[in-house]
Amino acid sequence: MLASFRWLQELCPVDADVAEVARRISLAGLEVEAMERKGHDLSGVVIAEIRAKKPHPKRDDLTLVRVFDGENEHDVVCGASNVPDPGGRVLFARSGAVLPGGMQIAPRKVGGVESSGMICSEEELGIGADGEGIFVLDEDHRALPGTNAADALDLRDVILDISLTPNRPDCLGHVGIAREIGVLFGMPYSPRKAAGPRRAFLPEGAFRPGQPTTRLAPLWDSESDMVDSPKLPAISVEIVDGDRCPRYGAALVSGVEVGPSPFWLRYRLHNLGLRALSNVVDATNLILLEWGHPIHGFDLDRLRGSKVVVRLADEGEKTATLDGIERTFTSDDLLICDGEGPVAVAGVMGGLFSEIRDDTKHVLIECAYFDPRSIRRTSRRLGLHTDSSHRFERGVDPEAIPQVLASAASLIAELGGGAVAADAIDCVARAHRPASIRLRPERAARLLGTPVSKEESMRILESLGCRIVEHDGETIEAQTPSWRPDLTREVDLIEEVARVRGYDQIPTAMPRAHVSEAGTPGLLKLVDELRDAAVACGLYEAINYGFLSVEDLRRARVGADAVMLANPLSEERAVMRTSLLPGLTGAASRAQRHGATEVRLFEIARTFQPTGDVLPHEQTVLAINLAGHRPGWIGAEQAFDLYDGKGVIEAIIDRVFGRKPELVSGDLPSFMHPKRSGVVTLASEGVGFVGEIHPEVSDDLELIGRVIYAELDVPALHALSEKLGPPQARDLPKFPAVTRDIAMLVRDAFTAGEIADALQAASNGLAESVRLFDLYRGDQIPEGHRSLAFRVTYRDTSGTLTDKQVDKVHGSLAKVARDRFEATIR
């Protein structure tokens, strides 16, 4: 939300600078993310008077202009076609001036003629979007030549970029922010104090809704305002669905002349991020920014049947919106219609047929309250998020309709020269009933940790617009203001009390920790240890949503039987995950699409399996994903394979349990490669699996190359940890080790693991470890065979081994390899 500090000061003139106001409202929840000064960087740009002009001697598209800047006359070459006659006033940048875009003005020749200075446009000075011609001052800005442009045009302002939470729709307009400033600074706020063009405001109760009906109500404060005001023609308003549109108001301005807006209005809209279109349209946008309540202007002559009907669309009904696109509606979309068909999408965008045009003479102003959920659904379904839908779907003030209508009608009449009808339409289908909430100061004190008196609570609530219905020694009953739909519970009022008092007034106190005698549960400790071990192995932790789409589960081959959400955020987040595979591989796929050549991710999270009961079965899983090329220093890049995944699993389990897992054949999930995957066991019990994702699944998940995936069952590991106990430390060896390598050519039918186990068993207890360090397939290796190289570490705990002892044992290992595995020792 962009807000003009100058406008806020007009609405609520507090005695504080912009920095202090920004600090106070930020502490109260309206976070000011940035501040931008406007009109403060135009030194060297002054008002100049045209003294003479003539055609350029060499170029027909240029004009030689002599200007007077209050001190001297200057000859300037100008390319604009709207140079005024002598006596006209323009904005002139003297030589040496630096424009907001960074352009430095200096004398130079244009078409062979010396030009000193520059006559500027709105766009070049950053004060508007018009770059077609130079800025020519009108009669309202007849400042003397030499006057600084910022002073002459009253340009200085500070724009606040405020980050609003969705529960504060009341601050989506300057009136709401000014009201908030008044509360924080202890100043009474009233929109009647707004400076600027004259506005008309209704007396209290002029539009007070009664029975659901259409009625006429006076639009002006006094009879003097109604002089020459026409009567409202016979226009009827019918609300077919009162739940979707509880209240609809309309006012008429007749005899308007559509044309450009004055500079003050164009400049204000430009600073707040809106483009000026015409005086009537700009007036509706200014009212939106002022009140935070969208309004819409219809060309009355284009409303067929002299009626407005608010109804749900017929299935398949169509109309073109202001952006020129024909929209197709469902029976859930709310439309504004005339006597023959749709003229606007309620709360979202107006229709093309009834838009304000250059020849519009009579403007019917709409100001309504629509059900937020209805507008949100229509906006999302149409993919049409507008300034109006942004506010309506959060909730506007239904009781502000009379004031907004009066303000809009007054401004349009002032800008367009029309007359406002003396009466307005107020159709109330469902009257607004304020929420009544009971506040207990004692409860507030317990929640906030600091005493809160009843008197202070009442004062704060009344300053916020709440009406105190009754109070006694222990409770306060307050009715919430219509502009605060977020106040529905006692804790909401307590938060408001804390917010206005200042969160910094809440004392800092260390909470008392109640630690159970059992300490941290073992499963949580294990999760932390596994996470630390995964990070130590060079993996990066991913945190994914627990919600997926049914299509995600189908593509990952993890089964479509999942826990459905009753109120999903979207179709992409409609079910609870049954596996970590879709989320983790989705992160890997995004990384690969962005150019990552190496992906090393892990996630520890819960999966949710349907049980047929109320609650699903939750299980904590450690998942690992490797993709791309393994890091290396020597040789060509090589892709991650099963052995990389096995190594990571071994490193993690060894770090946590002090034991080596084993990889064996067994039942695998359908998304794993049947030949390049295995079951992970620890102490002969299955605790997970590791391997390559099936190529078809990998393609469906949009992964590049071979992708390694592993899962460990954390509860199963926890049960084993209790069974196995903590890792046991061993004595440091007293005698040195001897290492020997053994290389062999074997058939693919024999696994490296079973060969290593056999070698270790044949060493008579002298082999401390047998580790595979090389695997080779290629030239000179027969098909169906591979070369394996093992490094054997020998050590005798009772003495130093001699070469003769080692040679004898090593020879027996070679014999076992030949006899049992038909190996050829190399």
Q: What digits encode the pLDDT tens for the residues 521-536?
A: 888 999 999 999 999 9
CA distance 823 to 785: 10
pLDDT at 34: 96
- Here the tokens at position 728 are 């046991």
Q: Which of 28-37, 157-166, 336-345, 497-506 has the lowest mean pLDDT?
A: 497-506
DSSP letter for each residue of 147-195: -BHHHHTT--EEEEEEE--TT-GGGSSHHHHHHHHHHHTT----GGG--
Residues in the chain, how many? 826
**Helix (H/G/I), strand (E/B), else coil: 139:** helix
The C-alpha atoms of residue 456 and residue 186 are separated, in whole angstroms, by 13
DSSP 260-289: PPPHHHHHHHHHTT-----HHHHHHHHHHH
Sign for the pseudo-dihedral over CA of 349, 350, 351, 352: negative
Q: Quote the CA–CA distance of 464 and 113 in Å, as a whole number.
A: 65
Q: What is the DSSP string of 357-384?
A: -TT--EEEEEEEE--HHHHHHHHHHHT-
**Domain membership of residue 581 as a residue range:** 522-724
pLDDT band of 233, cuts 50, 70, 90: low
Report the side by side order of strands in the sheet with 738-747: 767-776, 785-794, 738-747, 824-825
Average pLDDT across the chain, whole number: 89
Q: Which of 123-137, 138-152, 171-185, 193-207 has the lowest mean pLDDT?
A: 193-207
* Banded pLDDT at 196 (limits 50, 70, 90): very low
Closest C-alpha to 156, from 2, 1, 5, 16? 5
State which H helix or E strand residue 393 sits in.
Answer: none
Cβ proximity of 258 and 360 under 8 Å: yes
The confidence band for 418, taking pLDDT boundaries of 50, 70 and 90, is: confident
The per-residue pLDDT for 198 is 38
Instruction: Compute the distance between CA of residue 644 and CA of residue 667 in angstroms, rounded to an integer.
Output: 21
Is 666 found in the same domain as 628?
yes
The pLDDT tens digits of the residues spanning 438-470 come to 999 999 999 998 898 999 999 999 999 999 999
Look at residue 513 and tell me if it is in a domain. no
What DSSP character marks residue 202?
P
Residue 212 has pLDDT above 60, yes or no: no
Q: Which helix (H) or strand (E) holds 652?
A: helix 642-657
Do 603 and 744 sit in the same domain of this protein? Answer: no
* Across 710-723, average pLDDT: 92
Q: What band does 199 get if pLDDT is binned at 50, 70 and 90?
A: very low
For the segment 112-129, the average pLDDT, to the nearest whole number, is 93
Does the pLDDT at position 423 exceed 90? no
Q: Are residues 240 and 354 in the same domain?
A: yes
> Residue 431 has what pLDDT?
93
| Residue 383 within a domain | yes
Contact 724, 701 (CB under 8 A): no
d(CA 64, CA 54): 5
Kindly give, in sequence order, each residue whose CB lies less than 8 Å from that of residue 295, ignoring residues fewer than 6 positions away: 284, 287, 288, 365, 366, 367, 404, 405, 408
Which pLDDT band holds residue 201 (cuts at 50, 70, 90)? very low
Query: Which has the higher per-residue pLDDT, 194 or 127?
Result: 127
User: From residue 716, how far is each of 603, 620, 682, 696 by CA, in Å?
Assistant: 17, 10, 10, 30
**186/15 Cα distance (integer angstroms):** 11
CA distance 351 to 356: 10
Q: What is the DSSP letter of 117?
A: S
By the 8 A CB rule, do 424 and 418 touch? no
The two tokens of residue 122 are 């709105």
Task: Give kind and range of the element (H or E) at residue 563.
Answer: none
Q: Is residue 512 part of a domain?
A: no
Specify the pLDDT at position 732.
86
Section 271-294 average pLDDT: 95
Predicted local confidence at residue 219, as pLDDT: 56
Instruction: Establish if 729 belongs to a structural domain.
Output: no
> How do 342-345 and 334-337 pair as beta strands?
antiparallel
Are residues 179 and 206 both part of a single domain?
no
**Using CA atoms, how far apart are residues 445 and 461, in angstroms rounded to an integer?**
16
Maximum Cα interatomic distance, the chain, rounded to a whole number of Å: 123
**Whether pLDDT at 38 is above 90:** yes
The whole-angstrom separation of Cα 472 and Cα 686 is 67
Query: Do 157 and 4 form a contact (C-beta atoms < 8 A)?
Result: yes
The one-letter code for the residue type at 35 is: M
Same domain, yes or no, for 657 and 674?
A: yes
Of 729, 732, 662, 717, nearest to 690 by C-alpha is 662
Mean pLDDT, range 782-808, rounded to an integer: 92
Which of 421, 57, 10 has its CA nearest to residue 175?
A: 10
pLDDT, position 206: 35
Say if residue 173 is in the same domain as residue 150. no
Same domain, 304 and 321: yes
Is the pLDDT assigned to residue 195 strictly greater than 50? no
Q: Is the pLDDT of residue 193 over 50?
A: no
User: How high is the pLDDT of residue 118?
Assistant: 95
Asked if 328 and 401 sit in the same domain, the reply is yes
Q: Quick: pLDDT tens for 466-508.
A: 999 999 878 999 999 999 999 999 999 999 999 999 988 888 8
How many domains does the chain fold into? Answer: 6
Residue 332 belongs to a domain with what CATH number?
Answer: 3.50.40.10
pLDDT digits (tens, 9 = 90+) for 733-751: 889 999 999 999 999 889 8
Task: Dig out the tokens for 306 from the structure.
Answer: 């002299």
* 237, 248 Cβ separation under 8 angstroms: yes
Residue 27 lies in a domain: yes
Joined together, the tokens standing for residue 417 give 């020269």
Does 210 lie in the same domain as 334? yes
* Residue 633 pLDDT: 63
pTM: 0.68
Residue 515 lies in a domain: no
Q: Is the pLDDT of residue 680 over 80?
A: yes
* Structure tokens belonging to residue 454: 């009843």
> Is the residue at 564 inside a domain?
yes
- Span 378-416, pLDDT tens digits: 999 999 999 999 999 999 999 999 999 999 999 999 999
Distances (CA, A) of 427 to 11, 207, 399, 522: 29, 10, 12, 65
**539 and 590 assigned to the same domain:** yes
d(CA 803, CA 486): 84
254-278 pLDDT, tens digit each? 999 999 999 999 999 999 999 999 9
Q: Are 698 and 707 in contact (CB under 8 A)?
A: yes
Is residue 727 over pLDDT 70? yes
Q: Looking at residue 658, what is its pLDDT?
A: 87
Domain of 453: which CATH number?
A: 3.30.56.10
Element (H, E) at 628: strand 617-628
Residues 352-364: tens digit of each pLDDT: 999 999 999 999 9
Average pLDDT over residues 284-290: 96
For residue 564, list its beta bridge partners: 575
What region, left, alpha or beta, does residue 684 occupy, with left being phi > 0 and alpha being psi -120 to 50 degrees?
Answer: left
Q: Is 43 left (phi over 0), alpha (psi -120 to 50) or beta?
A: beta
Specify the amino acid at residue 647: G
The pLDDT > 90 percentage for the chain reads 75
Return the pLDDT at 614: 81
The confidence score (pLDDT) of residue 519 equals 61
- DSSP per-residue letters across 735-774: S--EEEEEEEEEETTS-HHHHHHHHHHTTTT-EEEEEEEE
The dihedral through the CA atoms of 299, 302, 308, 314 has a sign that is negative
DSSP structural state of residue 316: T
**Angle formed at CA 360 by CA 357 and CA 365, multiple of 5 degrees:** 95
Residues 29 and 79 in one domain: no
- pLDDT digit string (tens) for 627-641? 998 876 666 778 999
Strands 540-541 and 598-609: parallel
Structural element, H or E, at residue 573? none
User: Which residue shows structure tokens 């007054």?
Assistant: 410
Q: What tokens does 264 get?
A: 């003050």
* CA 435/CA 470 separation, integer angstroms: 14
Neighbouring-strand partners of residue 314: none
pLDDT at 207 > cutoff 60: no
> DSSP code of 709?
E
- Model confidence band, residue 701 (pLDDT cutoffs 50, 70, 90): very high
Question: Does some domain include residue 511?
Answer: no
Question: Which candidate, 338, 337, 361, 336, places its Cα nearest to that of 230?
Answer: 361
Based on the fold, state whether residues 702 and 761 are members of the same structural domain.
Answer: no
